[in-house]
Every structure is written in C-alpha cells, then in structure tokens.
Amino acid sequence: MNTFLMGEYDVIVVGAGHAGCEAALAPARMGFKTLMLSMTLESIAMMPCNPSIGGTGKGHLVREIDALGGEMGLNIDKAFIQCTMLNTSKGPAVHSLRAQADKQQYHYHMKKTMEAQENLDIKQAEVVELLVEDGKACGVVVKTGAKYLGKTVILATGTYLAGKIFIGESVVEGGPNGLAAANGLSESLEKHGIGLRRFKTGTPARVDGSTIDYEKTIPQYGDEKNVPFSFMNDPIKKDQVKCYLTYTNEKTHEVIKANIHRSALYGGKIVGIGPRYCPSIEDKVVRFADKERHQTFIEPEGLYTNEMYVQGMSTSLPEDVQIEFYRTIPGLENVKIVRPAYAIEYDCIDSTTLKLSLEHRLIENLFCAGQFNGSSGYEEAAAQGLIAGINAALKLQGREPLILDRSEAYIGVLIDDLVTKGTSEPYRIMTSRAEYRLLLRQDNADLRLTEKGREVGLVSDERYERFLEKKRMVEEELERLANTSVGPKDADEFLIKYGSTPLKQRCSLMDLMKRPQISYEALLEIDPNRPLDPSTGKPLVSGHIAEQVEVQIKYSGYIEKQLQQVERFKKLENRKLSPDLDYDAMDGLRIEAKQKLSKIKPLSVGQASRISGVSPADINVLLIHLERTKRSNADE
C-alpha cells in the first residue's frame, strides 16, 4: 500500500474509549501536540456495556483519576442520572461511589471536552500498522494509507482488535455495540514481536422499558444526598431516576440448561478467556447449580430512551433462547429485546511485557493502556490511559515516569498486579486486592495524589488552591479538637443521650470522637467554639472536610498500624534492582525464578517478591546479591 505523510505529533493515541480519552487529554494538557485516532468518533467515551461509572473498588479509581487531573470524575458528574454510595454499613475503606449514567450525555460531554482541548487533534481512521524504527515506535499508518509520525505511541484499542461477536451459533467479525472490528493492526503488532492472546467479555440484552411490568420488581432509589465524584464539584442537585431489582427462578434456569449446548461459550466456539468475576448467566447456572435464583437489575440507559440494561444477564445464547428465558423473570413476562446480548472475543497483550510506566519492554516509546492490557471495565481502562498519557509526556520531557506504588493508590495496585503478577483473565479491581485499603480510601484520594498531579503538570491552579484549602482546614480542625477539652459537667448529659459512658475526668473532643457512638456532627452539641461560616451561620467544616476529620480520628489506631506495615513494605521497595541484572548468572536462584525475573525485570526487591514463581528463598538470594554488590562498590 502506498503511504503518504499527513502529520507529525509528539503523542499518537490509538483508540478513543475510556483509556484513549485520558491518554490523549493528559499529554495535550501537559503541552504536547497530540493526535487521537478512532475508527469512529461515535465511540469516544462510549459505554458499550453497563450504563454506570464507579462501584466497589472502581469508585476509588475514579476519585484517584480526578485527583491526578484526569477527566472521568468531572464527566460523570455532568452525565449521572442516579447516584449511590455503596457499602455504607461497612467501614470507610470500602465505601464506593457509583453513578448511573446517561450514556449519550456521557459521550457528548467527553467529546465536547476533547474537541475543545488545546494541542489535541481528533481524527476518524482505522490504524492498520504500527511504525517501528531501531526498536522505537515512531508512528502509525491508517487504512487509507495516511501516515502519522509520532515521538511516542499509545495503544488503547479496547475490544476492537480482531473482534468477534458471538450470539448462539452466529459468529461475526465486529466490535462492541454493533461497530466494526479492527482487523489490520494485530498482524502488524505480531510482526514487531508483540505477542497477542484472546480474551472474552460479554454484555446483556437491552430491552424496551415500555414492555416491563415494574409493579413486579423492587424499585432501587439513589441517595437523597448526591455526592460528586470530582473534588472540584459540590453536591449536585438532580432529579434521579429509579433502577429496579428482580430475580431469575427455576424456570429461567431450566430454559438455560435445556439450551446450554447452543451457547457459544459451552458450544466450543469461544476460545478467549472470560472474566471470572462477571460470568454469563449460563455460566452462573452451571457453576452455582445450588442457587435457586440470581439478582437481575434493570437499569435505564439514559433520560431520552426507553432502552433498559438487564444487569447480570450477560449471555452468548441465541436470540430465541434469550427472549424465552428473559420472559420467565418477574416483570419481564412481555418484554421485547431491542439489542440482543452477545459475547465478544478480542486480541490483547500479555501485561507482563510492560514496564510499570506502561511502556512496552521490547519497543521503546510504545505505551499500552486499557483492555488491550488485559483489564476489564471503564474505570480500570481510564486509570491506565491517564498513567500512559502522563508517562509518554514525561518521557518526552526527559523526566522519570510517574509510578504509583501499592501503598499510594488503587491505580498502583492495578498496574502492579497487571505488570508484576499478570492476569489469566480480564482483570477487575476490587478492594480486596489492596493490602493497604484503609489508607487508600476514596475520601482521601485528593490528599494522597493531588500533589503528584501538580508535579507532572495536570493539576490546575484552581484545583490546587482548593486542595490546599481543604488540607489546611482538616489539619486546623484536627488540632483544635485535640486541644479543646470538656469535663463531666459539660459532657455527661450529652454522652448518656448517645449511649456512651460518662466521663471521670476532663477529655479532649478528639478522644470523645474516638468513641463509636459519637459522630462529628453530634459533637456540635457540646462544641460551642466550632468555627462557623459568617454568611450562613452553619459550621464551616462540612462536607468532604468534615468526613475527612471524622475518618482520621475514628480510625487513627488502625491507620497508624497500616502506616507501620507500609514502612516495612517500603524497605523492600527501596531495595532497587537494575533492569540490566543477569539473573541467569546469579547462583542460588531456581530456574523458574530466573525465567520470571528475566522476563519481568523488576525494579525493586519488593516488586520481585510479588512475581508468581519467585519464592522467599529466591528473594533472599537477591538480598545477598545486593549486599555483596554494595560491599564491592564500597571497597572500590
């Protein structure tokens, strides 16, 4: 094919999903000429699966993206139609914000943001070739023959690469949500030595909401108080839509079992590996045969459509079976399907071939992000896109990459898991994956990461001033509570009212707040000196700030213990390993450890300890090697 030069850029981003959007915005905002290429501009921030952002673990990622200067939190705050804080009956470490989105509004708002961004060009084109010279990525070629040169390239191809759609016996080439598959790029990547593998995911049917009998379902309401995702926004007042809960039953399961041989998954047509934590309904029926029913949530796709998303009912069964088992579910007896459920299989890479910066080990200046790296979910994709975009820009500046460790952010957990441990299925973030989750709460993401976002150049003056003001107010209020005391005469009546033990001697307000019965809000009754807003007469410390004060006081003991754990963790993280170490020549390492260490090239002993197949004995060998090297250097 004849090619012709159509432009030169600092950063070229392939893909316009949640990873691609963050990957393109970051370097453009950092001052670099950036190009984002998408097979169709209708796919910009498209939500081909569930109509929501956030959820358990995922809400933490969105808050962290926001704190670093990313766009996802700001965008969902514009497009949400229902908002809920999950896990409020548990501790703050697992509180997770989740918002239903109007899918079209989410797409429109992000597209508008991208189009208005200085230094960013957006073009509709299918990339079919990656250009590599002297082991460095240097551009791409699109299907028309147009060539774009770039100093760095970010691949964020989602589920498009060699995509195949499965609906029962039907197998067609295609991308998500009825779009075309990208069939040219995979061959080019393999020519450059980038190994690909097949993963699979799926999505439920969309049904006509006017054909649902909502009287037979259980309404699910949003929270009365809307909590924004972005720390730049105050609570947003909106009329919220309802979601609905219903359940499968024995009839549903009988229909599925009777037709299981017609499922693409069980019929052997799908070779890709699917996500264990988001199984299809036929997988649930087979794997959890003892369960009499499974939850099914009916969720609106937007304010200006009748389409409803049937969460929990992903399947690759044929359409006639889909309508048959959907109609066994209470409320769906007369339902009409407008978009059938399907499974999609696609090419992705082995994430252990990446560095922690998300740059590819074999090809310099090539960064990878999102589902192309083997992850699953909008939030996981956006987090990787942001880090890939930042690190592409930092590389152009000649600066060290931004690498968040496991004690700093869920983003650090996500990337470390993918790069160090690898994944045998589409990876999904969960709070249980984070060892230091009490420190990595969603409520303190701005306190943890805004400084880092400022250092790389993504946090605006306005955001930074807001952050500093919050930090100052939290610190001052903690100090005031520690230095303000009350005696039995002032507090006993109040304590008895809230079921707490009376005082025997004077006690600080901070110590009183450590009692489980006493909240910061309730403490106002015996705290006459609490600073007030002169314009409203209401407490000045409220919202995010009050939440932060309460959490830091009530969980101070646990937080201190976790900080001690982090200190031990950092000792191994600070024992750096050279990426040029010859592990094959290192006596004492087992063969498997040599192979794994040589492949992943860990940057620290801590990272090496998390590699599957590297034992504690192997870690001791590394520590001895480092000590010998240190002594040898000292002698010289």
Burial of 630 (0-12, 13-18, 19+ CB in 10 A): exposed
pLDDT tens-place string over residues 417-472: 999 999 999 999 999 999 999 999 999 999 999 999 999 999 999 999 999 999 99
Which amino acid is it at 391?
N
Q: What is the DSSP letter of 525?
A: G
343 phi, psi to nearest 5 deg: -105, 150
Domains identified in the chain, total number: 4
552 and 612 in a common domain: no
- Rounded distance between C-alpha atoms, residue 80 and residue 101, angstroms: 4
Residue 241 is predicted with a pLDDT of 96
Question: What's the domain range around 187?
Answer: 4-163+178-199+346-455
131 and 49 in a common domain: yes
Query: Does the pLDDT of residue 83 top 80, yes or no?
Result: yes
Angle at 376 between CA 375 and CA 377, to 5 degrees: 130
Residue 533 is predicted with a pLDDT of 79
Q: Which of 286, 317, 345 is the last residue of a domain?
A: 345
- Examine residue 171 and state whether it is found in any structural domain, yes or no: no
pLDDT tens-place string over residues 523-539: 999 998 898 877 887 88
pLDDT class of 301 with cuts at 50, 70, 90:
very high
Mean pLDDT for 159-173 is 94
Contact 448, 408 (CB under 8 A): yes
483 and 397 in a common domain: no
468 and 415 in a common domain: no
Instruction: Quote the pTM value.
Output: 0.95
Residue 238: give its domain's CATH number: 2.40.30.260
Rg of the chain's alpha carbons, rounded to an integer?
Answer: 26
- Examine residue 34 and state whether it is found in any structural domain, yes or no: yes
- Examine residue 469 and state whether it is found in any structural domain, yes or no: yes
Residue 533: give its domain's CATH number: 1.10.10.1800
248 and 393 in a common domain: no
552 and 541 in a common domain: yes
Query: Does the pLDDT of residue 275 top 90, yes or no?
Result: no
183 and 42 in a common domain: yes
Q: Which of 297, 327, 345 is the last residue of a domain?
A: 345
Q: What is the DSSP letter of 628?
A: H
- Rounded distance between C-alpha atoms, residue 583 and residue 416, angstroms: 21
276 and 212 in a common domain: yes
Q: Which of 505, 533, 560 is the last residue of a domain?
A: 560
User: Of 192-206, 260-274, 298-312, which range is least confident?
Assistant: 260-274
491 and 425 in a common domain: no
